[in-house]
C-alpha cells in the first residue's frame, strides 16, 4: 500500500502509508484525496519516474520499430479506442528506434507492454526477453510481423513472449491483444508508470 496525491501534473507517490485525511494547506481551489492502491506480486518496489513527455493519465506502450507508418497506425488506434485501461488512463505510444534505446527505457521505467518489430529487427525480441528477466516487473512482449503464423507464434510463446500481432495492423486485433497484455501485467505487478 502507498500514498499518492493527484495534482494537475499527475499522480505523485510517496513511500509512506497515510491513514486518515490530513488537512490541506493547498488553499481554495485545490482538493485533497486519499487513494489506496493494493499492489500484488513478489516484486514490489518504488515507482520509477515516468517519462517526462507523457501527458497525465497515460500508460506507455514501447514500440521497437523503425516504421513511421506502424507508429502512425498504432497511435491512431490508441487515440480512436474508447478503451480505458486504468481509471482515467489511456494508452500512448512510445516509439523506440533502436534495440539499445528500448533496453535503456526498460531499465529505467516500469513499462507494461513492449511491441517488437520482427520484420525490421529479427531476433531482437529474444534480447528483450533476456533483458526483461532481470526486471522486477517485466513487460509483456508482443512481437509484430508480416510473416505471422502458427510456427512463429508457437516459437514466441515457447520463449516467453506474450503474443504475436500480424501486420498490417487490424485495430480490433491491436486493442484486443494490448488489452489482454495490460490485464495480465496489471494482475501480476500492479501500477505502471502512469504519468
Burial of 107 (0-12, 13-18, 19+ CB in 10 A): exposed
* Residue-level pLDDT at 181: 94
Q: Check whether 168 has a pLDDT greater than 70.
A: yes
Distance CA 184, CA 150 (A): 22
Burial of 160 (0-12, 13-18, 19+ CB in 10 A): middle
pLDDT tens column, 127-143? 999 999 999 999 999 99
Average pLDDT for residues 81-110, to the nearest whole number? 85
| Prior bond of 168 cis (ω within 30°) | yes
pTM: 0.69
pLDDT tens column, 116-127? 999 999 989 999
Distance CA 71, CA 93 (A): 7
- Contact by Cβ (8 Å): 17, 3: yes
Confidence class for position 113, pLDDT limits 50, 70, 90: very high
- State how beta strands 10-13 and 4-7 pair: antiparallel
Distance CA 172, CA 188 (A): 24
| Domains in the chain with CATH codes | 1-38 (no CATH), 58-189 (3.40.50.2300)
Strand partners, 62: 94, 114
Distance CA 192, CA 111 (A): 6
Confidence class for position 16, pLDDT limits 50, 70, 90: very low
- Mean pLDDT value across the chain: 76
Strand partners, 4: 13
Average pLDDT for residues 141-146, to the nearest whole number? 95
* Residue-level pLDDT at 191: 61
Distance CA 33, CA 11 (A): 11
pLDDT tens column, 71-87? 999 999 998 876 666 66
- E-assigned strand segments in 28-77: 58-64
* Residue-level pLDDT at 59: 83
pLDDT tens column, 26-43? 444 433 433 333 333 344
Distance CA 25, CA 90 (A): 31
Distance CA 21, CA 185 (A): 31
- Contact by Cβ (8 Å): 115, 144: yes
Distance CA 127, CA 135 (A): 13
Confidence class for position 55, pLDDT limits 50, 70, 90: low
Amino acid at each position: 500500500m502507498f500514498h499518492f496525491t493527484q495534482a494537475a501534473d499527475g499522480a505523485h507517490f510517496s513511500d509512506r502509508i497515510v491513514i486518515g485525511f490530513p488537512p490541506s494547506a493547498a488553499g481554495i481551489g485545490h482538493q485533497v484525496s486519499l487513494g489506496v492502491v493494493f499492489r500484488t506480486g513478489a516484486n514490489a518496489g518504488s515507482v520509477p519516474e515516468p517519462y517526462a513527455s507523457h501527458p497525465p493519465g497515460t500508460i506507455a506502450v514501447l514500440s521497437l520499430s523503425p516504421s513511421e507508418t506502424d507508429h502512425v497506425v498504432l497511435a491512431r488506434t490508441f487515440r480512436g479506442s474508447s478503451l480505458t485501461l486504468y481509471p482515467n488512463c489511456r494508452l500512448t505510444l512510445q516509439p523506440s528506434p533502436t534495440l539499445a534505446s528500448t533496453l535503456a527505457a526498460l531499465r529505467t521505467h516500469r513499462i507494461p507492454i513492449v511491441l517488437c518489430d520482427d520484420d525490421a529487427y529479427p531476433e531482437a525480441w529474444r534480447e528483450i526477453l533476456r533483458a526483461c528477466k532481470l526486471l522486477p516487473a517485466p513487460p509483456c512482449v508482443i512481437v509484430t510481423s508480416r510473416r505471422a503464423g502458427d510456427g512463429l507464434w508457437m516459437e514466441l510463446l515457447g520463449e516467453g513472449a506474450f503474443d504475436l500481432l500480424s501486420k498490417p495492423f487490424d485495430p480490433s486485433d491491436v486493442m484486443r491483444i494490448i488489452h489482454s497484455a495490460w490485464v495480465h501485467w496489471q494482475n501480476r505487478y500492479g501500477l505502471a508508470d502512469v504519468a
